């Protein structure tokens, strides 16, 4: 990457925003000027990046003059309020919220899956939901072997998906329960420590929650395949920052376990963790702060002649959010 870009991070003080800053620095992104933007409450604070402290500025519609790329991670309402002003200023927005994911003319991009879509943007590119990203990084190499007809996926989702406050609630409740105190819910509706519950997004009219429907709709858009059937069940588990997913797929032909493992081993963004002899398979504690999605437990689906079952883990803050956004920006910088 030769050309240096002027970059803004919107929501820089949040959990994902901070990971975006770390990721830009670790991956030596070609930044010319860096602008950190957040609410008026955070304006004036400083955050480190590229060896220096940067002062956080208040986000306004005038914040994007001279900015080439803006990474948004401040929630859907903020994105809807400010993305248009950024695009009008000539900035390419890479948005981590749900605001624009299903807008037909907005590319929804996972660089390991559909990188070419990033270049069809009209100033705005959407970052998919974390669960969808982690799943499709693992499934794309298998889809390339034989089209996937059907996906049944159960997710085990970390506190980080609810931001820094969600992580703090899990840590506080865990300490309280160990000390013999009750777990008092504030961010979530139910006790989180030593418990799990259906994902906290709203239940829609078909009985699936919003998080589950994101996996259905985003998968079809990213894969350019509206005929894929997806049946998701999303669950919050008491893990800090990595999501896990148990995935069963039905393909058009029978793909052998050996063939699947060979394709996964060659795939970008995938690390095989599949040691049956020691029962060592993907775990959140090993995917924390890792760029790759861990994939293992690759086996035949005993209920379907053309089915495979796998288990995956990925860092929700990184590949599920910040890293994916930075990788999209890298595509643009390389072009």
CATH of the domain at 176: 3.30.360.10
| Residue that has been written with the tokens 């060659």 in this structure | 266
224 is catalytic: no
Which stretches in the chain have pLDDT values below 70? 1-2
- Do both 173 and 262 map to the same domain? yes
- Do both 172 and 303 map to the same domain? yes
Predicted local confidence at residue 253, as pLDDT: 98
Evaluated on CA atoms 33, 34, 40, 45, the torsion sign reads negative
Supply the DSSP string of 199-232, one letter for each residue.
Answer: -SSPB-TTS-BHHHHHHHHHHHHHHT-TT-EEEE
- Do both 202 and 304 map to the same domain? yes
**Total domain count, the chain:** 2
Contact 7, 34 (CB under 8 A): yes
SS3 label, residue 182: coil
Predicted local confidence at residue 69, as pLDDT: 98
- Do both 123 and 178 map to the same domain? no
- Using CA atoms, how far apart are residues 75 and 95, in angstroms rounded to an integer? 9
At what angle are helices 130-145 and 210-223 packed, to 10 degrees? 40
What one-character DSSP code corresponds to residue 275? B
Instruction: Find the domain containing 123 and state its range.
Output: 5-127+321-334
Predicted local confidence at residue 309, as pLDDT: 98
- Do both 192 and 59 map to the same domain? no
- Do both 88 and 153 map to the same domain? no
Q: Which tens digits make up the pLDDT trace of 78-91?
A: 999 999 999 999 99
Predicted local confidence at residue 1, as pLDDT: 46
For 276, half-sphere exposure in the C-beta direction (CA atoms, 13 angstrom radius) is: 4
Contacts by residues 89-93 (CB-CB < 8 Å, ≥ 24 positions apart): 89/64, 89/65, 90/64, 91/8, 91/64, 91/67, 91/123, 92/68, 92/121, 92/123, 92/124, 92/125, 92/332, 93/123, 93/124, 93/125
243 is catalytic: yes
Predicted local confidence at residue 2, as pLDDT: 59
Predicted local confidence at residue 131, as pLDDT: 98
- Do both 221 and 102 map to the same domain? no
- Of 49, 130, 234, 313, which is the active-site residue? 130
- Of 54, 121, 199, 243, which is the active-site residue? 243
- Do both 48 and 34 map to the same domain? yes
Contacts by residues 30-33 (CB-CB < 8 Å, ≥ 24 positions apart): 30/1, 30/2, 30/3, 30/4, 30/5, 30/333, 31/4, 31/5, 31/6, 31/7, 32/4, 32/5, 32/6, 32/7, 33/6, 33/7, 33/66
- Do both 264 and 182 map to the same domain? yes
Contact 70, 86 (CB under 8 A): yes
């Amino acid at each position: 990457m030769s050309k240096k870009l002027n970059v803004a991070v919107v929501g820089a003080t949040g959990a994902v925003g901070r990971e975006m800053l770390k990721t830009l620095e670790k991956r030596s992104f070609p930044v010319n000027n860096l602008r950190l933007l957040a609410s008026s409450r955070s304006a004036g604070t400083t955050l480190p990046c590229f060896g220096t402290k940067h002062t956080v500025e208040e986000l306004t519609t005038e914040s994007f003059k001279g900015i080439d790329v803006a990474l948004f991670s401040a929630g859907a309402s903020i994105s809807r309020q400010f993305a248009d002003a950024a695009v009008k200023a000539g900035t390419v927005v890479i948005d981590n919220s749900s605001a624009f994911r299903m807008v037909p003319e907005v590319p929804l991009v996972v660089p390991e899956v559909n990188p070419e879509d990033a270049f069809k943007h009209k100033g705005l590119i959407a970052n998919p939901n974390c669960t969808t990203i982690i799943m499709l990084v693992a499934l794309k190499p298998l889809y390339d072997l034989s089209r996937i007809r059907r996906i049944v996926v159960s997710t085990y989702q970390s506190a980080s998906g609810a931001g820094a406050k969600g992580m703090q609630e899990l840590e506080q409740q865990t300490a309280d329960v160990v000390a013999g105190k009750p777990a008092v819910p504030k961010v979530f509706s139910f006790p989180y420590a030593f418990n799990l519950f259906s994902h906290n997004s709203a239940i829609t009219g078909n009985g699936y929650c919003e998080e589950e429907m994101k996996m259905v709709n985003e998968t079809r858009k990213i894969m350019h395949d509206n005929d894929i059937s997806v049946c998701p069940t999303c669950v919050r588990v008491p893990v800090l920052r990595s999501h896990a997913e148990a995935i069963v797929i039905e393909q058009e032909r029978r793909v052998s376990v050996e063939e699947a493992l060979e394709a996964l081993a060659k795939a970008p963004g995938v690390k095989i963790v599949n040691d049956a002899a020691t029962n060592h398979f993907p775990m959140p504690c090993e995917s924390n702060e890792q760029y790759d999605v861990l994939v293992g437990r690759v086996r035949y689906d005993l209920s379907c002649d053309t089915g495979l079952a796998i288990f995956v883990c990925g860092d929700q803050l990184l590949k599920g959010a910040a890293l994916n956004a930075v990788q999209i920006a890298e595509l643009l910088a390389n072009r």
